Amino acid sequence: MCQSCGKGHKDLHVDLKQIKLKEKIDAYRGEAGSLIPVLQEAQDIYGYLPEETMKMVAKEMKIPVAEVFGVATFYSQFRFTPTGRNVIRVCMGTACHVRGGLKVLKALERELDIKAGETTGDGKFTLETVACIGACGLAPVISINNKVFGNLTSEMVPGILEKFE
């Protein structure tokens, strides 16, 4: 079965994600400095940056593959492995640090049995740390799928995780 479109054909492989990305690249064509926005679009489509996709971006945009890799690996927003269904970002900002952000991170690591940067075996959660979410008034905070949870204690962690499928 075709992995991309879910249909039962074998030979005529149509990669819908690739088509979508090509459309995006076409929209940026001719605009200077568009590599980063294109990579952001690619990550939105795939959830991460597969090696093949970066090669395709390089070819389409006529930029050396090495440069695409160089740019992608420089910025912390880009990932190179698939994420879980829910992405947890733990804020490591100063306000969160002094108000016990590390304890929240440790509680998440314990609860999910993974370290920061890893994904759970069942693909449910990816745990990441970020420099600052900018919700310092509510420290310590985490965000799950961009929804912010504030004023946390380690005891609140299991209850929050329960809400996610």
Partner 1 sequence: MQTLAYPCCEKCNHTASTPCRDYIKCRVEGPLCHDDPDCKQKRQDFLAKMYDPEGLTKQILICTGTGCVSSGSQRLIELVREELVKRNLDETVRVRSTGCHGFCEQGPIVIIEPDKTFYTKVKPSDITEIIETDIVGGNKVDRLLYRDPVSGESAVTYETVNFYAKQNRIILNNCGQINPERISQYMAKKGYQALEKVLQTMKPEEVIEEVKKAGLRGRGGAGFPTWLKWNLCRKAQGDKKYVICNADEGDPGAFMDRSVLEGDPHAVIEGMLIGAYAIGADEGYVYCRAEYPLAIERLKIAISQAEKNGLLGKNILNSGFNFHLKIKAGAGAFVCGEETALIASIEGKRGMPKVRPPYPAEKGLWGKPTNINNVETWANVPHILRNGADWYCQFGTPKSKGTKIFALTGKVNNTGLVEVPMGISLREIIFDIGGGIKGNHTFKAVQIGGPSGGCIPEELLDLPVDFDSLSEVGAMIGSGGLVILDDTTCMVDIARFFLTFTQKESCGKCTPCREGTKRMLEILTRITKGEGKPEDLENLETLAGVIKKTSLCGLGQTSPNPVLATLRYFREEYEIHIREKRCPAHACTALLQYHIDNEKCKRCGVCAKNCPVGCIFGDKNNPYEIDSQNCIQCHTCIDKCKFKAITVS
Site residues (CB under 8 A) for partner 1?
32-37, 39-40, 70-71, 74-78, 92-99, 103, 106-107, 110, 130-139, 141, 146-151, 153-155
Contacts of 39 (CB under 8 A, 6+ apart): 49, 54, 57, 68, 71, 72, 78
Q: Min. distance of Cβ 88 from partner 1 in angstroms? A: 14
Q: Order of strands across the sheet with 147-149? A: 125-130, 86-91, 142-144, 147-149
Sign, CA torsion 90/87/35/49: positive
**Residue number with CB closer to partner 1 (2 or 87):** 87
**Residue number with CB closer to partner 1 (125 or 141):** 141
**Residue number with CB closer to partner 1 (2 or 35):** 35
**Residue number with CB closer to partner 1 (24 or 99):** 99
Q: Min. distance of Cβ 89 from partner 1 in angstroms? A: 9
Give start and end residues of each alpha helix (H) in the chain: 16-28, 35-46, 51-61, 65-74, 94-98, 101-112, 157-162
Q: Min. distance of Cβ 31 from partner 1 in angstroms? A: 10
